[in-house]
Amino acid sequence: MPQPHTLKITEIFSSIQGEGLRQGEPTLFIRLTGCNLRCDFCDTKYAWKGGQKLCVEEILKRVEKENKKFPSEWVCLTGGEPLIQDVKELIEKLKLNGMKIQIETNATQYQDLPVDWYTLSPKPPEYFFRTEFTDKAKEVKLVVSQELDLEIIQKMRNAFPEKVPILLQPESNQKWSLDKGMELLKTSLIRGLKNIKVSLQLHKIYEIE
């Protein structure tokens, strides 16, 4: 008998979306284990390894239980990097249960999935992303790290349709990064770049998961 498909999961929890255009919306998070990049500024390094192997049905039961505590129609698959695992069956079954799907990804991996909202966050030093995402992204989030500069923002603006916002998200809300984000926004505007915005991490302000 074939074994059920399993995924390595770090945690499943209900909260609000703390980042991006969906900020503040009730969201259930499924944090998958593992990452192919492992940036030094990552604030979820605990998700790089470990995790628990769960079959899709077990994940769905946990989702149902969590969603009773803090109801939401949105599920966000995040990591780590969620797309290094085969998430198609999970997403299809979540959709059958009436959930809307957001994926937060570094965009270096691609799967053909029925996703409602892609948040792309290309990472230094190359800021590489798979071109399949170009017309699928709802937002592009750039962490305001030491490496981020105006030329990278220009590159991202050129790569994606103007309707897709480029979000400058300070690194863990640190002051130097907040200041740099505002300066990069100003210089982007002076250069004539459109739909560039500053963002932050709302869950860090509320001190929640």
65-118 pLDDT, tens digit each: 999 999 999 999 999 999 999 999 999 999 999 999 999 999 999 999 999 999
pLDDT tier at 172 (50, 70, 90 boundaries)?
confident
Q: Who's near 99: CB < 8 A, 6+ residues apart?
A: 28, 63, 73, 74, 75
Beta-carbon-side half-sphere exposure of residue 185 (alpha carbons within 13 Å): 19
Looking at the predicted structure, is the pLDDT value of residue 10 above 90? yes
Quick one: how far is CA 76 from the chain centroid? 8
Domain ranges of the chain: 6-206
Cα–Cα nearest to 17, from 129, 137, 101, 91: 101
Beta-carbon-side half-sphere exposure of residue 11 (alpha carbons within 13 Å): 13
Q: Which CATH superfamily is domain 6-206 in?
A: Aldolase class I (3.20.20.70)
Mean pLDDT across the chain, nearest whole number?
A: 96
Q: Which two tokens stand for residue 16?
A: 């609000």
Contact 145, 136 (CB under 8 A): no
> How many whole angstroms separate alpha carbon 208 and alpha carbon 16?
9
Question: What is the spatial order of strands in the sheet that 117-120 belongs to?
Answer: 52-55, 6-16, 26-32, 74-78, 100-105, 117-120, 137-144, 166-170, 196-198
> How many whole angstroms separate alpha carbon 56 and alpha carbon 11?
14
Looking at the predicted structure, is the pLDDT value of residue 207 above 90? no
